[in-house]
Amino acid sequence: MSNPATPPAVGVLDERPPLTFPPGFLWGAATAAYQIEGAANEGGRTASIWDTFSHTEGRTVAGHTGDVACDHYHRLSDDVRLMAELGLKSYRFSVSWPRVQPGGSGPANAEGLDFYQRLVDELLANGIEPWLTLYHWDLPQELEDAGGWPARDTAARFADYALLMADALGDRVKYWTTLNEPWCSAFLGYGSGVHAPGRTDGADAVRAGHHLMLGHGLAVQALRTAVPQAQLGVTLNLYPVTPISDSPGDADAARRIDGLANRFFLDPILRGAYPDDLVADLAKVTDFDHVHEGDLAVISSPLDVVGINYYSRHVVAAPVPGEQPEAYWRDQACWPGSEDVRFVTRGVPVTDMGWEIDAPGLVETLRRVHEEYTDLPLYVTENGSAFVDEVVDGAVDDVDRLAYFDAHLRASHEAISAGVPLRGYFAWSLMDNFEWAWGYTKRFGMIYVDYDKQTRIPKSSARWYAEVIRRNGLAAE
C-alpha cells in the first residue's frame, strides 16, 4: 500500500526537459461500461457476469457493485463537457453488450443503442474522436449460463454482436477495439476466479483465452466487410517479465510467465500460431483439442492498430520446493502449469494496488511489440495508477498520480525516439470508478468522483494532462 507521506515515486518533475510529441498524436482517456455507467436495470439492459458476480456475497470488497457506479448513463452530457474542458482528442469507452443486445443474442435493443449513439454524437460535436471497445469483460449472463468463453459458440455470438454495433455506429466510429485485456477475462475470470464469472479451472481458462481470440478474429472479419473504413485492433495488457537473477531456473520461470501473460495472445494474433514452448508448458493442463483447423488463420486476421495497456512489470524466480509464493500477483492470478513460479517484489515504490512503478518497462514493452511482432501503429490504450486521494478545500492534489503519468509519457516519448510507431496515449482513467473486485476502494481517475453526491472534481493530474494535450508534450517546469 502506498504511504501518503511518500514523495512522488518517480522523481523530481522540475528537473526534466520539455518533450514534444509527433503532430496528430492522439491524446485520450479511457473508461469501461460496467465501471462507470450504472443504470444496471434500466433501458432494457439485462445482467452481465459482473452483475451476477458483484451481487454474490464475498466476491467484491464490501459487496460493492456497478449498479450505480459513476451514474454516467444519466450524466453523459456533463461528462462529455468535462472531457472537452480537458481538451481530450479521443475518448475510449466500452459498450455494455447486455445493454445493446440483452441476453447476448437476438435483435438489438434500440434504447441501449440510443445511449451510445448519443454519446458518440456528443463526442463528435465536441471534436473528440470516439474509440469504441466492444468487450470490456461484461459478458451477458445468458451466454455464461450456456458455457461462457470456454464454450466455442460464444465466439460466434460475439461476432454477431460486433455486426450489430457496426450497423448502429459504423458511420461515425473510426476506431474499433474488439477485446480489452483478454488475459484478464480468461485467466482471472475462469482461472483464479477473482474476476467474473469466478470460475477456477486452468483448462477452462486456456479454452476461454482461445475462444476470446477466435471471437476477436471473427469480429474483425465481420467488421472489415461492414465498416471498411474502420481502424480495427485489439487491446492486450502486457508486462515485461524479468528473472530476479540470471540463473537458468529464474530465466525459465520468466520464460514460462512471459508465455502465459504475453505470448499466449501476441503470437496467435500477430503470428498465427501458439508458441511451442507454451504448448509444452500447458501439456499437463490441456491437449489444445479446442483449437480447430483454421482457427489460427481467423485469429490472425489482419489488423490496423494494436492497443497496449501497461501498468507494471512481473519479476519472477524459480520455484523453491515447499515454499509458498507470497507476492500479490501469485495470489490473485492463475498460471496454469506454472503455479509454482515465485513472483518477487523488489521493494521499489508501488501504487495503491501494490503494483511496482516501472516506467522503463513501458519502453521495453512497446519496443518488443514493434521489434518482434509488428510494424502496425501502436497505441497505449491504458496507463495509470491508483493512489489514495484526499479532498482538501474542494481540491485533490494527486502528485503521485501526476508523477506516474509524467514518467510514463516520457517513456512513451523514448519509445517513439527509438522508432516505435506509437500514435496515441490514453490515460486510465478519465474518472474514478468501480475497480472490479476492489469495488470503489481504489481510485485511478484524473477526475475525482464523490459517489454519494455524484459530483466530479478534476484532480491536479487532470489539469496537468490538459496542459500536456494543449502543448502536445511535456513542459520543462
* Under rule CB under 6 A, residue 362 binds ligand IFM: no
Q: How many chain residues bind ligand IFM (CB under 6 A)?
A: 8
Complex with ligand IFM: residue 1 or 5, whichever CB lies closer: 1
Write down the least CB distance from residue 137 to ligand IFM, Å.
7
Complex with ligand IFM: residue 37 or 435, whichever CB lies closer: 435
Complex with ligand IFM: residue 135 or 444, whichever CB lies closer: 444
CA distance 108 to 101: 5
Choice from 32, 132, 164, 238 touching ligand IFM (CB under 6 A): 32
* Under rule CB under 6 A, residue 309 binds ligand IFM: yes
Q: What are the angstrom distances between the C-alpha of 452 and each of 34, 131, 388, 401, 440?
A: 18, 29, 18, 23, 12
Is the distance from CB of 143 to CB of 52 less than 8 angstroms?
Answer: no
**37 part of the active site:** no
Tell me the H-state helices in 104-246: 110-125, 141-145, 153-169, 182-183, 202-226
Which residue among the candidates 37, 181, 356, 435 is catalytic per the annotation?
A: 181
Complex with ligand IFM: residue 296 or 447, whichever CB lies closer: 447
Write down the least CB distance from residue 20 to ligand IFM, Å.
28
C-beta atoms surrounding 133 within 10 Å: 25
* Under rule CB under 6 A, residue 181 binds ligand IFM: yes
Write down the least CB distance from residue 134 to ligand IFM, Å.
14
* Under rule CB under 6 A, residue 356 binds ligand IFM: no
CA distance 195 to 411: 30
* Under rule CB under 6 A, residue 404 binds ligand IFM: no
What torsion do the CA atoms of 148, 184, 235, 93 make, to the nearest 10 degrees?
Answer: 80
Choice from 428, 440, 464, 465 touching ligand IFM (CB under 6 A): 428
All 3 cell numbers of residue 295?
Answer: 482457427
Complex with ligand IFM: residue 135 or 428, whichever CB lies closer: 428
Write down the least CB distance from residue 32 to ligand IFM, Å.
5
* Under rule CB under 6 A, residue 382 binds ligand IFM: yes
All 3 cell numbers of residue 456?
Answer: 466530479
Phi (first) and psi of residue 130, to 5 degrees: -75, 135
All 3 cell numbers of residue 473?
Answer: 508534450
Complex with ligand IFM: residue 274 or 379, whichever CB lies closer: 379
Is the distance from CB of 131 to CB of 175 less than 8 angstroms?
Answer: yes
Choice from 202, 261, 435, 456 touching ligand IFM (CB under 6 A): 435
Write down the least CB distance from residue 31 to ligand IFM, Å.
8
Is the distance from CB of 449 to CB of 37 less than 8 angstroms?
Answer: no
* Under rule CB under 6 A, residue 358 binds ligand IFM: no
Write down the least CB distance from residue 237 to ligand IFM, Å.
6
DSSP H or E run through 79: helix 76-86
State the burial class of residue 33 (Cβ atoms within 10 Å of its Cβ: 0-12, 13-18, 19+).
buried
For residue 307, what are the β-bridge partners?
Answer: 235, 379
Complex with ligand IFM: residue 66 or 337, whichever CB lies closer: 66
Which SS3 state, helix, strand or coil, does residue 211 take? helix
* Under rule CB under 6 A, residue 178 binds ligand IFM: no
**181 part of the active site:** yes
Strands 447-450 and 90-94: unpaired
CA distance 432 to 440: 8
Write down the least CB distance from residue 167 to ligand IFM, Å.
26
Binding footprint of ligand IFM on the chain (CB under 6 A)? 32, 35, 181, 309, 382, 428, 435, 444
Tell me which residues are annotated as active site.
181, 382
